[in-house]
Chains A and B, each alone.
Chain A
Amino acid sequence: MKITKWTFFSSIVGCVGVVILGIGSVSGMNKKSEYERRTEDPRNKKYTLGDKHSGYVVMTKQTRDMQDDDFSNPAFLWVDAGEAFWNKVQGSKGKSCASCHKSASKSMKGIGATYPVYDKKTKKMVALQAKINSHLVDKMGAKKIKWESKNMLGLAAYINLQSRGMPMNVSIDGPAAKFYEAGKKFYNQRRGLLDMACKHCHVDNAGKMIRSNLLSQGQANGFPTYRLKWQKPGSLHRRFAGCNKQVRAKPYKRGSPEYTNLELYMKHRASGLPVESPSVRN
């Protein structure tokens, strides 16, 4: 072909293009994934157990900083409210939580690591919030409080805080076994218009991005958690409802047997991870 200034010019452009592509692919290979960048933090060791890791390790550094400082952890405003409720007399029988349970730091130690438990009266699993409500109604002559109310969130955070750092140790022995199986079945069952099960995100794709979120393993050791998205603390059952709605499945109610059994399965799955309540998540 004729060598003109056009051929000379286009060959220069071609070479530059190849070089740019070359540099691009090399830097692409060296580029760290979001998962790698977030999990590099040495603080994460405390929240990792073999293959298992808490949601803490996939948060951004700033979120971790917020959780690690009790002063800046916004959930502590609710913990204070929970402590006030613990000491306040509720209902017709003139009792407060403290009347029977005395100091929460002693009596509630370990509770956060072992709930939900099997209730002999109702012959079902009972979550912490449900247990609090049954106490309020049956033993204190008071009214139930809503799961996401300031008092319930505060109480749950305050009680779970007393177990902070202790390894998760939920029992699935004896009568709890069949509820564990029901929870496990729920976890692996496809639901909703998007026809997805919990495991599709949290087992098969943990560590990958889903839109702008980095998927955690969905361990439940930090609840009730202060979720930056909610700008307030929330219960584990609230998160379940959110996850279900995200796959366009109809959510179940707080304290429903479906969610309580799922909670049992998930908390047993998190065995050994330290209780982190109240955690800060995105």
Chain B
Amino acid sequence: MAKARVKVPATAQKGEVIQIKTLIPHKMETGRRKHKKTKKLIPQHIINKFVCKFEGKDVFSADLHAAVAANPYMAFYTRVEKSGTFNFTWTDDKGKTVKASKKIKVS
């Protein structure tokens, strides 16, 4: 899996609601497509879980299924009370994980 993209504001006010955007390149093979030449079904290979934690606590998580399109884009809102690090983890069917992290300064 390739590098993930994450957008988190660098600074925020205490108690402010911020928007976090994430994007990860991934084919999200549904398992329903047939190979053009062999006519066999191409096996499913998708990202099935996304978790965002702030200082160890879960902020947002999602279970993805085959209907999610390629290069899943997920944007969500969260309220920040203190400075810290957001950690993002994507897990796919083959058990591979991609991680990313971003710091935010809250004043």
A-B complex is real = yes
Q: A77-B71, A81-B2, A84-B2 are in contact. Are A71 and B7 (CB under 8 A)?
A: yes
Verify A77–B21 contact, CB threshold 8 A: no
Verify A71–B3 contact, CB threshold 8 A: no
CB within 8 Å of A: which B1-24 residues: 2-3, 5, 7, 21, 23
Query: How extensive is the interface on chain B, given as a class?
Result: under 10
- Closest Cβ of chain A to B87, distance in Å, is 19
Which 3 pairs of residues, A with B, have the shortest CB-CB distance? A71-B7, A77-B25, A80-B2
Q: Collect the chain B residues with CB atoms within 8 Å of residue A71's CB.
A: 5, 7, 21, 23
Tell me if A226 counts as interface (CB < 8 A to partner B): no
- Closest Cβ of chain B to A238, distance in Å, is 22
Q: Collect the chain A residues with CB atoms within 8 Å of residue B71's CB.
A: 77
Q: Collect the chain B residues with CB atoms within 8 Å of residue A81's CB.
A: 2, 25
Q: Collect the chain A residues with CB atoms within 8 Å of residue B5's CB.
A: 71, 76
A245 to B23 CA separation, bound complex (whole angstroms): 36
Q: Collect the chain B residues with CB atoms within 8 Å of residue A77's CB.
A: 25, 71
Knowing that A71-B5, A71-B23, A80-B3 touch, tell me 6 more A-B residue pairs with CB under 8 angstroms: A71-B7, A77-B25, A80-B2, A80-B25, A81-B2, A81-B25
Q: Collect the chain B residues with CB atoms within 8 Å of residue A84's CB.
A: 2
A80 to B5 CA separation, bound complex (whole angstroms): 10
Q: Which residue of B lies closest to A83 (CB)?
A: B3
Q: Collect the chain A residues with CB atoms within 8 Å of residue B23's CB.
A: 71
Q: Which residue of B lies closest to A70 (CB)?
A: B5
Q: Collect the chain A residues with CB atoms within 8 Å of residue B25's CB.
A: 77, 80-81
Q: Collect the chain A residues with CB atoms within 8 Å of residue B7's CB.
A: 71
